[in-house]
Amino acid sequence: MKLPTLREIGTEAKLLLIGIPVLIWTLVPIYHMFLFAISPKEDAFSGKLWPDHPTLHNFEIVFRQQHYFLRDFWVQFGNSTVIALATGALTLFIATSAAFSISRLRTPGGRAVMNLALFTYFIPAAFLAVPMYRTMGNYGLLNTHWSLILAMVTIASPYAIWVLKQASDKLPVELDEAATMDGATTLQLFRLVYVPLMMPSLVAVGTYAILLAWNEYLYAFLLLSKDTDITLPVALGNFLAADDSPWELLMTTGFIYALPPAAIYYAFRRYMVGGLTAGAVKS
């Protein structure tokens, strides 16, 4: 084994000098949340780096809904799940058909539609939320899950269409031609050739839409209000309304709420980063 030179040690030390603060900066708020979640009430405020008596009692309270703020925990968890999955499915349906139409069928005006769609992202999210709230009221959708699902689909679709169009532009045209020669109808082409070939991108886009809806706070907070209708993040925000809010339970619920997206993100990291990267280098 070759001994490192002084210069190499110097470089490594400099890198560590950057890396360690980055690690601390990244993990402190998350670790703080975790610490609260596993601490008994008395220990939570002691400022120790590890509780004297780590416990899962807080999780038990949350799962059994044994607190005033948590009485609808499972209903709200279910709401979050249903809204996220519905957003994912609807976004996939809308974006896949749009991308197929623009990229494979070369529908006239298709490109213009995509550019218009991307224009949505030039409207800052909180600015669109104000008229969107009123619009949902006009449509009579306020305080229903559909309002949040449709709002999330609106925000997820443009990126989804764009990613899917980029991916489907890479599929060879000959494929469509061959299928058409064999007598495939447009719908068969879509169902039997296009969708199977696009699977990896579809997984990425579906995951993206699900995460977007699961993580959303502002629209959920505006569009839903009844305790049994709201999603988990809104319930977490409602904890703050009280002066004596039980922090350790709030952090435990927050931790439970943050776990699925983190897990999904890491499981699909390859797909997700791939999609993003393609976009960045092109622009």
Partner 1 sequence: MAITLSDHAIPRPPLSARLSTPQVWGIVLLAPYLLVFLAFVLYPVGYGLWLARHPQSYVELYHDPIFARAAVNTLIFLVIGINVKMLIALFLSGFFVQQRHWIRWLSVLFILPWAVPSIPTILSVRFMLNPEWGVVNHIIFSLTGDDGPNWLNDPAVALTMAIGVHIWKSLPFWTLILMTGRLAISNDLFEAAAVDGASFWQKFRYITWPSMRTLYVTCTLLSMIWTLGDFNSVYLLTGGGPADLTHVLSTLGIRYLRLDQLNLAMASIVCALPLVLPLVYFMMKRLSR
Query: Within positions 140 to 179, which residues make up the interface with partner 1, using CB under 8 A?
Result: 150-151, 153-154, 157, 161-162
Please tell me the distance from the alpha carbon of residue 207 to that of residue 272, in angstroms, as a whole number. Answer: 8
CA 151-135-79 angle, to 5 degrees, is 40
Residue 94, classified by CB atoms within 10 Å of its CB into exposed (0-12), middle (13-18) or buried (19+), is middle
CB of 108 to partner 1, least distance (A): 5
> Considering only residues 200-229, where is the footprint of partner 1 by CB under 8 A?
214-215, 217-218, 222
**Stretch binding partner 1 (CB under 8 A), from 59-67, 81-89, 201-209, 230-238:** 230-238
At 246, list the tokens: 């039980």
CB-based contact 268:211 (threshold 8 Å): no
CB of 203 to partner 1, least distance (A): 17
CB of 85 to partner 1, least distance (A): 16
Please tell me the distance from the alpha carbon of residue 283 to that of residue 278, in angstroms, as a whole number. Answer: 9
> Considering only residues 79-108, where is the footprint of partner 1 by CB under 8 A?
93-95, 97-98, 100-102, 105-108
* Binding test (CB under 8 A) with partner 1, winner from 139, 173, 191, 267: 139
**Stretch binding partner 1 (CB under 8 A), from 50-58, 65-73, 122-130, 200-208:** 122-130
At 263, which amino acid appears?
A
